[in-house]
Amino acid sequence: MRIVVDLNRCQGYAQCAFLAPQVFELHGEEALMFTPAVPDDQHEHVRRAAAACPVQAILVGERAGP
C-alpha cells in the first residue's frame, strides 16, 4: 500500500499520528513526516487515520497514484 499526504491541505490536527504512529509523525506543531510505502502490518491503522483526517489530506492505495 502506498500513501500520499497533501501537505498543502494538512492542518496538523495529528489524528494520523495518533492512529498510525509507525507511519505518521508530527515534528513541531506542523511538520508532518510519513512513510509513503506502508508496511503490511500498518494497513488498517493507515486506513483509519485517512478516514479520521478532518481535511481528508491522506490519499491511500490507488488514489495515491503509482
For residue range 24-58, list pLDDT tens digits in order. 999 887 789 999 999 999 999 999 999 999 999 99
- Kindly report the pTM of this predicted structure: 0.86
Higher pLDDT, 4 or 66: 4
Q: Which residue's entry shows cell 502490518?
A: 41
Q: Which residue's entry shows cell 491522506?
A: 58
Please tell me the predicted confidence (pLDDT) of residue 52. Answer: 97
Q: Is 18 left (phi over 0), alpha (psi -120 to 50) or beta?
A: alpha
- pLDDT higher than 90, residue 64: no
Please tell me the predicted confidence (pLDDT) of residue 32. Answer: 92
